[in-house]
A = this chain, B = another copy of it.
C-alpha cells in the first residue's frame, strides 16, 4: 500500500502540444496487460536524457545513448514492461534495434529517431516478435490525452500510477509540463529500475534542455532510494516540443530559463517522491534532511547512510524511535573527522519536531513518548545538523517491511 499516494486524476494531466501517446497489450510476459507504450513527438522536438551508471546497462539504454548522440531529432519513444532486455548480450542489442526499426517503418521515420525503453525481468530474451506485433495497436491508440493510460502501461511492481502536470507562464505564454514515471524497488541514486518521462511544449535550446535535465535529475531521481540497488535500465528523459509559442529560451541566466527549470524539477521531484511512496512494501515516507555540511556531497553521503540502513528502515516500519540506529548510520557514513559531540538530530512529522540527540548522546530534553508519538505518522523527517558548514541535501526513502521481502521473493513467480 503506497504511503499517501493516490492515482492522479486524468483531467489534471494536461496534454502537451506535440506529444501523442498510445498503449497496447502485446503479451510480452503476461497476457491481458497493457505492456507497450508508444510516444510520438512532433518534428523539431528536442530531447535530453540521463541514464543508469550500471556497467551492466541494458541494450535499450545503449541504443538510447547512441540515438541521442546521432542528433537526428528524436520522433518517437517505445516502452515495454515485462522484460528488461538487460544481460542479454548481442541478441538484446539486435532485439532493441529491431524494435526501433519496426516502429520507425510504421511512423515513416528513421530508426535512429526512436528511443527504446524496457523494464522488467533481467537476463531473459525480449519476445521481440510479440512486441512488434503490438506496435500497430499502440499506434492506432495515439492520443494527446493518453498520459494517464501511459502512466499505467509502464508500471511493473508499482501499485499506483505516477504522473504529475503543471502549467506555468513564460513571458506571457502558457507552457505545459507533464510527466510520468514508474519504479517501486531497486531505487537508488544514479537511476534505478526507474523510468521517467517529462515533456513540455516550451521552446528551449538543446544545451539548456540538457542542463535542466541534469538539474532536475539531481534534485529528484538521484535523491531517492528504496533499497540501494541500482538497475540496469534507468532512464530519465526530458522532451521539449517547442509548440507553446514562446521565444526560444537560450540564456541560462534568464527568468524564463529559471521558470522552466523549476517547473520541470518540481514535476520530477513529485514523480520521484511518488516512487518512494510506492516503494515495495512501504508503510512510511521518510525525508532525511542533512544540513550544516562542509559540502553537498557529504550531506548526501550521510543522508544515504541513514536511508540505506536496514536497521533504521525496520525500526521505522515498527514505529520504533530507535535513534541509536540513526546515530550509528551517521557515524559510519564515512566522514572521518565528524565531531559527534557537535552534531544534532531531530525527529519530526508534519505536526511536530523534537531534538533527539546532541553532545554525542540522547538530548536531555528528549522524552521517548514524544519520539513514539511522532513515529505514529506515516510522513517522517530525520533532520541532521552536522555543524561543519553551510551545505545541505535531502534524501527521500521508505521503511523496510515484511512486504518488501514478500514482493521481492515472489517477483518472478
Contact = CB atoms under 8 A, between A and B. Distances in A.
A87 B327 contact: yes
B317 A228 contact: no
A292 interface: no
A310 B398 CA distance: 14
A359 B89 contact: yes
A169 B220 CA distance: 62
Nearest to A407: B314
Interface string A105-124: 00000000000000001111
B410 A362 contact: no
Interface stretch (A37-45, A229-237, A248-256, A261-269): A229-237
A122 B87 contact: no
Contacts of A336: 55
Interface string A376-413: 00000000000000000000000011101110111111
Contacts of A188: 332
A214 interface: no
Tell me the number of copies of this protein: 2
A228 B310 contact: yes
Chain A binding site: helix, strand, loop or mixed by DSSP?
Answer: loop
A324 B228 contact: no
B123 A323 contact: yes
A331 B57 contact: yes
A166 interface: no
A86 B90 CA distance: 53
A330 to B, nearest CB: 7
A315 B328 CA distance: 28
Given A53-B332, A231-B328, A311 B408 contact: yes
A53 B328 CA distance: 11
Contacts of A328: 54, 56, 86-87, 122, 186, 229-232
B318 A123 contact: no
Given A314-B405, A361-B88, A361-B92, A331 B55 contact: yes
Nearest to A329: B229
Given A89-B361, A227-B311, A327-B56, A402 B408 contact: no
A87 B324 contact: yes
B55 A325 contact: no
A123 B331 CA distance: 13
A142 interface: no
A152 interface: no
Contact of A311 (B53, B186, B308): B186
Interface in A348-362: 357, 359-362
Contacts of A338: 55
B232 A310 contact: no
Interface string A69-110: 000000000000000101111111000000000000000000
6 contacts: A54-B332, A56-B360, A124-B324, A232-B324, A320-B413, A402-B402
Q: Which 3 A-B pairs have the closest CB atoms?
A: A122-B324, A56-B331, A89-B361
Interface of A: 53-57, 84, 86-92, 121-124, 185-186, 188, 190, 227-232, 308-311, 314-315, 317-318, 320, 322-325, 327-332, 335-336, 338, 340-341, 357, 359-362, 400-402, 404-406, 408-413
